[in-house]
Structure 1
Amino acid sequence: MASLTSLVFVIAFPACYLLYKIIRTRYSLRGLRGPPSSSFWIGNQQDILYQNEVGDVEFQWMRKYGSAWRLYADPKAIQYVLHTSGYRFPKHAIVNEDSRLTVGDGLIWAHGDDHKRQRKIVNTAFTAPQLKSFLGLFQQQSSKVSRFDLFSHPLCNERNCLKLVQKWNDEVGAADSVINIAPWLSRLTLDIMGIAGFNFEFGALDDAENKVNEAYKDLVMEGTLYRTKFDVVSRSLWKYVPEDILHLVRYLPLKNYARYLKYTTFMTGFAKEIFRKSELKGTGNDVISVLYRANAAEDPRKRLVGAQLYDQVSTVLLAGHDTTAFTLTWFFWELAKNVSWQTKIREEILAVRASVINRGDLDFSVSDLEGMTSLNAALKESMRLHPILWQLFRMAGQDDVIPLDFPIVTESGKTLSIPVRKGQDVTISVSAYNRMPQVWGEDAHEFNPDRFLGIDKTKQTIVGLHANLINFSGGIRGCIGWRFSLIEQQAIAVALLEHFEFSMSEEKDIKRIPSAIMVPVAEGHEGAWLGLSVKSIR
């Protein structure tokens, strides 16, 4: 009898303590207006994770409840969580473990002092001078470029953008054809990342068979889209499990965890080979070679060792590949719907091309690309409407009060900032912030690049790294390669718009599905799909 009582106590005490923690962390939000909770364990995350398309519920709630409703889109709240108090609001345990499952112990997963140390070393590979040096790297990788095929830009050279142009020309032929641009752009950015990141030829545009392509294919969609409810509920308890014990979930006999384990196991071996080549070469200009030399120059006590070093390879690959590809996919979709803007940008590109030729240069410089105001306004506007990372997860590291730009009215009629308890979930809706009428105007749901040509930055609360968007996050966790991505986007956009016109196909029902990154899909098509009518203009 005594042993039975002890057993009941052993089971009941942790259960009661867990219930107490859940209720306590939610208590501070008792007066905050918002939709009724659809799940005891995960609240309204159930509505968000299982919505048909990103924004179905967030935009509706924002219209009804304002800038914060147990989900944060308020600018000052975002600034406080990401910038002012960044380390006091660490990544949520779910995000940390997801990062560890997919990219290991690299920069995305690291936190606290470990994050500061890793970021300092990795940052050496993404400084402004280093980004400019990619020009030489890519010119070395290119064959001779004629004066009128001027795409030897560091992130869009003959082996990459021109190769894609040639393949699309072959596919289009004499008339325009429907091309699923999503996988093509994914393959292009994979090849770019292979050369710029590791000096490695993936050959994705040539359908080359290699184990990296095979290991990575559809990893994000298969691992994160519409998880089972058992998985979602069990993950809500992860923040109560010690980190090292939690990492044992990688051995769970579930399809998505098995896929992660297979990928990270392969990438560890691949990374060791990449670093071995970097060590032998010594003078490489790719990201990993620069990182390797910076790490060797550090105080031995501050160096990245073992998994922390090797996992930077999968970190660079995952963070810099499909995120850029799908950002561009949505950009071309918007231009296909807004032909006047497509024409305006193409005319701007041709005008800058003439200036480049007149001064005797063979290619666009970074300054040329940055000076294309219409192109960059349209890229910003497309990113605003279609954030690839559409929500950010944090957790209060201590009791705190989150300030607001737009005070919230409680159910009792009071206005307030938002008190949070230690351990409370803090979810930032990137998609909702990016469409807030108070920030972007009453036409916030419409494609209007002009808003970025006359925007008054002094009237905005600063939250993001680029164009005051949080697509690249912000603060201490801001994307370290955001400038790399922007140059890559500019260069690819210029190359394709000089050669092709884009218009809508008959397949218009494109959905922004809520996987970890916002992937375009269409009913009746497998995997990422966004088909556009493409016509050659050369």
Structure 2
Amino acid sequence: MTQDPSMTDLTAILFMLSAGFSLFTFLYSRRRSRSLGDLRGPASSSFWLGNEADIRYQNEVGDCEFMWMREYGSAWRRTGCLGTDRLMLADPKALKHILHSAGYHYSRTIDKAQFLRMATGNGIVVAEGQAHRRQRKVMNPAFSTHQIQSFLPLFHGTASKLVQKWKGVIAADPSGQPLVNVVGWFSRASLDIIGEAGFDFQFGSLDNLQNPLVIRSEKQIIDSTLYPSWYDLIFKETWKYIPGPLLEYVCHIPTREYRGFRSWLDNVRVFSRGLIKQSTDKGDGNDIMSVLLRANGSSNPKNKMTDDEMVDQIATFLSAGQGTTAKSLTWYFYAIAKHPEAQARIREEIALVRARAAGEEFTIAELDSMTYTLATLKESMRLDPIVWNFTRMANRDDILPLAFPITTKSGQQITSIPIKKGTPIDISPAVYNRLPDVWGEDANEWNPERFLDPLRGFKEASSNIGVFGSLMSFSTGTRGCIGWQFAVLEMQIIILALVENFEFSLPPQSEKTKIYRRPSRFMLPVPEGQEETWMGLHIKSLN
């Protein structure tokens, strides 16, 4: 699935290579001043790419990281492109320090920040320091508990519509148990929800099965982030030496990936300005953008977001709010399709709550009372985190405390790691979510019971770092996902509606139907030999 560069990309290739070569001597000399030199870690597997190739070109998420974790523990050194030293981290106490205690002292690495800027503009995902504080303060009212609860009817309505659409698909299939690619359906349902809840806009994706925004979004993720070209990885390593104003022009490089990002963001910004005008004219809307505009209008001028920042929040909502929820639902139904006993228990729980429910639509209290269903959602997100890794960079010298001691190359056991300013840190939710020291010896196995038994759940008190089930799936701390409650509530309601009405099972396993956890920007379900997302499940109506 690697992408061979075309002749039309020759100019970009030459530019990238020249930049890489011109800085190589300087970068190579930095290898000798290692702050992580005594940490154990894998040998560099490539002169140019280091261990970056191991991670980026692995068959499935975790193929190399889980192996390294078993050998080195919860923290280790690895080599990045052009010989740079990187710390790879899954230790809960260190993660809590970086993301909670010292959150604003660890920024995104320059290459990751620029990548996100190309995808979502200058919204809250990209903002750092005071700019992030300012944006988050303005956005908090739009994601309050009261505001999110007001979307319950929308969540229920969209879930019911998805149920009716699937019943139609089943009725049209002679077997009564069609093989359905659930990825696209969840992407469309999530887009419809974020459209109405976010901007009071109806995308109509569940009615338009060829919605271009859904198709383009899925294709953009794969084209731009799955198995990237080697020269692009090297080029991105040089970005930290390119002045900020000049770096913003990399989106104009004439390769397919960069053209795709530029076209996507340009179109979304035009669309966003229209939505903002609509919300401003309406004035009293209950959608997230209307609430956000009112909050921004009443803020102290020093705390306001600029017009461009407001526009780019919509690109952020579309990318983060729609894509991650749809992929989480996809992996959830894959998990329960493999575990019919879990499906049966969820239905029993639904039936018990339904019998005493106040109405047809479940309330927040009724949703929260379905503890086993919530446990299965947490367990699915633990085993299959959509955002499986991300990066931070130390903005000052620091000492990272460790919950679990590690052994250095010199044989010393250490409980903290001193790091220098500028050290890049790879944070791995995928590895943290499977640490045996946190989750037990069965950390690689499906077991929702771990979230129901407080004595079994977490072996280390400092592991309680995430906003949902102590997981890293929504990140945590100062930069934790602002919309995590929205996402969880949306997923709960869709799960209950679908499990109550359908039975899910896997098709016979073959190369065409076996699903791989591909290491794209998000963890994508892609079968062998295909270049698009696919999750085929047999669906049977229960009534």
TM-score by length of 2: 0.89
Task: Assess, with a 3 A threshold, how the Cα gap between structure 1 residues 230 and 455 changes in structure 2: closer, same or farther.
Answer: same
How far apart are the structure 2 equivalents of 1:504 and 1:344? 18
Letter in 2 for 1:290: V
What is the number of equivalent residue pairs in this alignment?
Answer: 507
How far apart are the structure 1 equivalents of 2:242 and 2:226? 24
Shift of 1:352: 1.1
Which segments of 5 or more consecutive residues in structure 2 lack a partner in the other structure? 1-19, 78-87
Match of 1:532, SS state, is: strand
Shift of 1:304: 1.1
Letter in 1 for 2:121: G
Q: Is 1:155–1:488's contact at 8 Å kept on the other side of the alignment?
A: no
Residue 148 of structure 2 is aligned to residue 131 of structure 1: yes
How far apart are the structure 2 equivalents of 1:56 and 1:38? 15
How far apart are the structure 2 equivalents of 1:290 and 1:166? 36
Task: Assess, with a 3 A threshold, how the Cα gap between structure 1 residues 177 and 379 changes in structure 2: closer, same or farther.
Answer: same
Q: Is 2:23–2:238's contact at 8 Å kept on the other side of the alignment?
A: no
Q: Is 1:215–1:266's contact at 8 Å kept on the other side of the alignment?
A: no
Shift of 1:49: 0.8
How far apart are the structure 1 equivalents of 2:38 and 2:448? 38
Task: Assess, with a 3 A threshold, how the Cα gap between structure 1 residues 396 and 339 changes in structure 2: closer, same or farther.
Answer: same
Task: Assess, with a 3 A threshold, how the Cα gap between structure 1 residues 449 and 536 changes in structure 2: closer, same or farther.
Answer: same
Which segments of 5 or more consecutive residues in structure 1 lack a partner in the other structure? 1-10, 139-152
Residue 406 of structure 2 is aligned to residue 389 of structure 1: no
Letter in 1 for 2:361: D
How far apart are the structure 2 equivalents of 1:235 and 1:454? 45
Q: Is 1:156–1:488's contact at 8 Å kept on the other side of the alignment?
A: no
Q: State how 1:248-267 maps to structure 2 within 5 Å.
A: 248-267=249-268
Find 1:372's aligned residue among 355, 365, 370. 370
How far apart are the structure 1 equivalents of 2:58 and 2:24? 30
Shift of 1:43: 2.9
Residue 103 of structure 2 is aligned to residue 86 of structure 1: yes
Shift of 1:201: 1.1
**1:54 is matched with which residue?**
61
Q: Is 1:156–1:495's contact at 8 Å kept on the other side of the alignment?
A: no
Residue 138 of structure 2 is aligned to residue 121 of structure 1: yes
Q: State how 1:434-445 maps to structure 2 within 5 Å.
A: 434-445=433-444
Match of 2:537, SS state, is: strand
How far apart are the structure 2 equivalents of 1:525 and 1:256? 18
How many percent of aligned residue pairs carry the same amino acid?
A: 42
Match of 1:46, SS state, is: helix
Match of 1:408, SS state, is: strand
Q: Is 2:222–2:531's contact at 8 Å kept on the other side of the alignment?
A: no
Shift of 1:154: 5.0
**1:530 is matched with which residue?**
535
Deviations 1:225-276 (A, max 9, x none): 1111000011112122222221110000111000000001111100000000
**1:469 is matched with which residue?**
471
Shift of 1:443: 0.5
Shift of 1:364: 0.6
Letter in 2 for 1:430: P
Match of 1:529, SS state, is: coil
**2:13 is matched with which residue?**
none
**1:234 is matched with which residue?**
235
Letter in 2 for 1:55: G
How far apart are the structure 1 equivalents of 2:541 and 2:123? 42
How far apart are the structure 2 equivalents of 1:336 and 1:441? 24
**2:83 is matched with which residue?**
none
Letter in 2 for 1:122: M
How far apart are the structure 2 equivalents of 1:516 and 1:13? 28
**2:419 is matched with which residue?**
420
**1:481 is matched with which residue?**
483
**1:406 is matched with which residue?**
404
How far apart are the structure 2 equivalents of 1:526 and 1:209? 18
Q: Compute the RMSD of aligned alpha carbons.
A: 2.0
Letter in 1 for 2:225: T
Task: Assess, with a 3 A threshold, how the Cα gap between structure 1 residues 42 and 306 changes in structure 2: closer, same or farther.
Answer: farther
Match of 1:387, SS state, is: coil
Task: Assess, with a 3 A threshold, how the Cα gap between structure 1 residues 408 and 492 changes in structure 2: closer, same or farther.
Answer: same
TM-score by length of 1: 0.90
**Bigger mean CA offset, 78-87 vs 525-534:** 525-534
